[in-house]
A and B are shown apart, each in its own frame.
Chain A
Amino acid sequence: MSNLRIHEGPATPGPDVSRRSFLRTGAAAVGGMAALAAALSPLRELITNPSISVDQFLQKHYREMTPNEMEAALTRIRAKVEERYQVRPHLRDVRAMDGVEFAYALNLSRCIGCRKCVHACVAENNQSRSPEIQYIRVVEMPRGTLDLEKGNHHYERPKVPDAAHFYLPVQCHQCANPPCVKVCPVEATWQEPDGITVIDYDWCIGCRYCEAACPYWARRFNFAEPSVPKEQINPNMAYLSNRPRERGVMEKCHFCLHRTREGRMPACLEICPTGARKFGNVLDPSSEVFEIIKTKRVFVLKEEVGTLPRFFYYFDERYPNALDPEALAIGEQLRREEGEAFGAAPGLGATEFASAASRRDGDRA
């Protein structure tokens, strides 16, 4: 042992601890502590960031809160909103109405793809402007197909609608059999009695399983701190709908429940310039949505996945305006493509087609 020493220390602490081993162990301990402190340093944010309080940390699940606890939570959220946006919010907890099940219907014959619903929704529901979060996505589809792979989300035109396309707005379908609710590991999202699937933003852990489970790509994730200009905050808020969200939680369309549970219309419907959007109580036989489902040609998106959406698409019993030459040309092209798909030679006129058919029948006879 002693032959490896370079300097003999005047006083060694013990028989088995040399100065060198003491320094080495000490340096390792100091370095290790420093590394540990560095690794844990992001946690300082928990202490310095006033947005996360102990009360909020210990807050119960929405469905387990007593009225007093809910009032305490609402008071806390009100104070936080006022501090952050200098706006006194009209925040409350709106419960589902009895005997009401909401349904939405959208007339594809009338939608012109102007995207007003998208931005009215953003303004109503205090979604983050940057990074951008939008609940509604309008897909421009070529006429003659419902293959969403062929849709264009980023269409830019001087004027819409384009005669060769139709427009398919997609948002949360408020499924009766919602896969997003099934996959949530902490039950932070659930279906309410009126059919709206809601999220407790304070309970969500941000695992994004629901986003992966949703076949309609209806759920959005706050990757960064949401930013809403103070002057654009909508102070009409409810706990389960449009109160400000934090970074790292999911959000989605909730049929504007802070409006609709008080009898009003969703923001996307009010702004729609063509009246393509219809909303109401499907349990009421005199409601508009009941009438549409009863009398119109209605379909749901991706029916085969078995989600039972409450969002119905329908169209009118009419073809594009027969006096519109542009629409006529498209109809002609569609018929030609259809002929190709069924094996008829392209460009065959009616007489050639008839003679070909008689030749075929003659062969068979």
Chain B
Amino acid sequence: MDTSPMTKPPPTGKESGLTGWVLPVAFLVLAGGLYAAPRRAEVPLGDPASVDRSALVVGPRRVALSDPPLTLVEGKPENCNACHQVFKSQNPGGAAATFHTTIKLVHGLNDRCVNCHDPSDRERLTLRDAETVPFAEAPQLCAQCHGTVFRDWERGTHGKTLGSWVKSSSEHSRLACNECHDPHAPKYPKLAPLAGPSTLRMGAQPSEVDHRENENSLQRWLRRIREERATPKTAVPATPAAPAPPDSKPAGGHP
């Protein structure tokens, strides 16, 4: 008995003409709106970072001198002794380089060539005990002063390892001291940093961000304490005698 009134279509003609058209018009407006709207929300795309590809070349920073070392003399590679056996050095003590003018010695207290180079055989390096080592064993010379770093380098905790992390692999190679550091100026040079991130959400930020408005109550309290401590700093000479004793009495009485 319930079904008979449901199957019977409602008397639509009895409704007002205007309200009956609301639904079709709304649908048509919705369809038009959906077609007119852009298919996809536009995502702001930043410009790709421009990176100098030459900055991404893998390898040692310096090319270590061959052993025996060669240097260019009038465009031709020559051994050190080719000259040094013939011409006597103008500065026997080696205080200043007269021929090797490109070398600037900035290496701690060392101010003479012969601090490291053997005066009698320029193709070897001299140790403190008058022993000499070939250029290939330069780390032994460095170790005389830089013992801590040499120990780290021997263990593998200092220095660069290339090729493979598998120690038994033939490609596993450790760089020597002079493949990163210039022995004449060993302090590692400063570099220009590559492009920073351009994040979608954060965008460019000022280099120093003030987090003061984001600090929590504990940080705010700490900052206020610090500021209060900092302000009487100017009045320090006048105050120490007077307020110190009353402060110290209750503090001393406590324990």
Q: Which residues of A contact B (CB under 8 A)?
A: 1, 4-5, 16-18, 20-21, 24-25, 27-28, 30-32, 34-35, 37-39, 41-42, 107, 110, 112-116, 118-120, 122-123, 129-132, 134, 137, 149-150, 152-161, 223-224, 227, 260, 263-265, 269-275, 278-281, 284, 286-288, 291-292, 295-296, 314, 316-318, 321, 323, 340, 343, 345-347, 359-360, 363-364
Contact = CB atoms under 8 A, between A and B. Distances in A.
Given A35-B31, A39-B34, A119-B49, 15 more contacts: A41-B34, A116-B194, A130-B48, A132-B199, A153-B202, A159-B190, A264-B164, A265-B163, A271-B56, A278-B156, A281-B166, A287-B165, A288-B157, A323-B108, A364-B252
B4 interface: no
Interface residues of B, number: 82
Given A28-B24, A263-B169, A131 B194 contact: no
Q: Which of A27, A272, A317 has the most CB of B within 10 A?
A: A27
Interface string B13-36: 110010011011111101100110
Nearest to A265: B165
B6 interface: no
B31 A346 contact: no
A278 B152 CA distance: 13
A264 B163 contact: yes
B11 interface: yes
A363 B11 CA distance: 102
Contact of B48 (A132, A278, A318): A132
A24 B24 contact: yes
B157 A24 contact: no
Contacts, number: 228
A316 B192 contact: no
A154 B61 CA distance: 26
B20 A263 contact: no
A279 B35 contact: no
B242 interface: no
Given A119-B56, A317-B148, A159 B192 contact: yes
Nearest to B35: A38
A345 B17 contact: no
B96 interface: no
Contacts of B46: 130-132
A119 B204 contact: no
Contacts of B58: 120, 270-271
B94 interface: no
Nearest to A279: B165
B24 A278 contact: no
B88 interface: no
A152 B209 contact: yes
15 contacts: A28-B27, A31-B30, A38-B34, A107-B157, A115-B195, A131-B43, A153-B202, A154-B204, A157-B193, A159-B190, A160-B192, A263-B166, A263-B169, A265-B162, A273-B180
Given A114-B193, A263-B164, A363 B28 contact: no
B39 to A, nearest CB: 6
A4 B16 CA distance: 9
B164 A265 contact: yes
A16 B8 CA distance: 9
Given A38-B35, A134-B197, A323-B108, A275 B190 contact: no
Contact of B43 (A223, A269, A279): A223
Contacts of B252: 363-364
B218 interface: no
Contacts of B158: 107, 110, 275, 316
A342 to B, nearest CB: 11
A18 B20 CA distance: 13
B196 A155 contact: yes
B211 A154 contact: no
Contact of A131 (B25, B45, B226): B45
Nearest to B8: A16
A50 B193 CA distance: 41
A156 B207 contact: yes
Contacts of B161: 265, 269, 275, 278, 288
B51 A119 contact: yes
Q: Which of B55, B157, B160, B207 has the most CB of A within 10 A?
A: B157
B164 A316 contact: no
Interface string B100-132: 000000001000000000000000000000000
A364 B252 CA distance: 6
